[in-house]
Structure 1
Amino acid sequence: MLVYRITKAIYADRLVASGGAARWNSRGQFVIYTAATRALACLENVVHRSGEGLLESFRVMVIEVPDELFIETIAADSLPADWFTFQQYDTCQRIGGEWLRSGRSAVLGVPSAIIANEWNYLLNPAHLSFSQIQLVRTEPFLFAPRIKS
Structure 2
Amino acid sequence: MWRVAAPSATRDAWTDYVWDGKPDLGPHLLPDGRDILDEIREGRAGELPFPVQARIYQGKRINDMLWTGGLGMIASTALVAVLNDLGVAGYATYDLDVRNRDGSPLPGFVGFRTTSDTLDTDITDLGRGGSYIFYTTDRVANALRDTKLKLDITPVTPRG
**Structure 1 length normalisation: TM-score?**
0.30
> Which of 1 and 2 has greater Rg?
2
Select the structure that is richer in helix: 1
Q: TM-score if structure 2 supplies the norm length?
A: 0.28
